[in-house]
Amino acid sequence: MAATQQLAASGRNKDIDRQIEQRKSRGAFALFLFSMAVPFFVIINVRYLMVYNYVPSSLDQVTGGIETGLMVIGALAAFGAARAARRLNVGGYRTNSAVSLVAGLVATIMMLYEMWFHPMNSMSHFGETFLVSIGLAIVINLAALLTLLAGRMRIRANGITHETLTGFESPAWFWVFATVGWIALYIELYFL
């Protein structure tokens, strides 16, 4: 009887230790995301210091809107991937992360197109801010897409366990962060 109680207590301790480690990992990832938000805030402040509320009439708002729509679709799918990972649902994670990857890749390609064929003078204050903002969004998108791709590759090899759960949730939340950052930049660049 005492041995059975001791085994049960040992199992509960391991479960508590696992939960503590997951909370630590999630907290560290949240700090990482907060630190990644700093460049977005700096660029938004620089835009208002340099050009205030000027938006050129030649700016292609339709392309920006399509990019934003694709990013939101990818973020919703990434949210679904994070939920599937929490339920240890490998199929749901793979499906949702595939949608995020496709939508994100198309949005990033459109951003590259927009950066290459921009309608404004790149030496103007708005052009400078626009190109830096789009460039930052592209770099963060690429990092988020690479982490999603790595998660898909890892899940194929190892599956999801309670111990590896944070490693699959984090890429999905990173894509959601990239989307929120892009929405802020989109509003700031195209409308304000």
Dihedral-angle region of residue 52 (phi above 0 means left; psi in -120 to 50 means alpha; beta otherwise)? left
Alpha carbon distance 178, 189 (integer Å): 16
State the DSSP string of 1-35.
Answer: -HHHHHHHHHHHHHHHHHHHHHHHHHHHHHHHHHH
Confidence (pLDDT) at 4: 60
Distance of CA 119 to the CA centre of its chain: 28
Whole-prediction pTM value? Answer: 0.82
Spell out the residues 6+ positions from residue 85 whose beta carbon is closer than 8 angstroms to its own.
93, 160, 165, 168, 169, 172
Identify the sign of the CA torsion 92, 98, 104, 110: negative
Confidence (pLDDT) at 69: 96
State the DSSP string of 170-188.
Answer: HHHHHHHHHHHHHHHHHHH
Spell out the residues 6+ positions from residue 115 whose beta carbon is closer than 8 angstroms to its own.
131, 134, 135, 138
Torsion angle of the four alpha carbons 62, 112, 104, 150, in this order, in degrees rounded to the nearest 10:
-170
Q: How many residues does the structure list for the chain?
A: 192
Report domain 2-52+59-190's class: mainly alpha
Confidence (pLDDT) at 37: 84
Residues 85/96, Cβ–Cβ less than 8 Å? no
Confidence (pLDDT) at 147: 92
Instruction: Specify the amino acid at residue 97.
Output: S
Confidence (pLDDT) at 51: 73
Confidence (pLDDT) at 13: 75
User: Tens digit of pLDDT per residue, the chain (192 long)?
Assistant: 565 656 555 667 777 887 888 788 888 888 888 888 888 888 877 777 777 777 777 777 888 899 999 999 999 999 999 999 889 899 999 999 999 999 999 999 999 998 888 777 777 778 788 888 889 999 999 999 999 999 888 888 888 887 787 888 888 999 999 999 999 888 888 877
Alpha carbon distance 174, 29 (integer Å): 9
Q: What is the domain partition of the chain in residue ranges?
A: 2-52+59-190
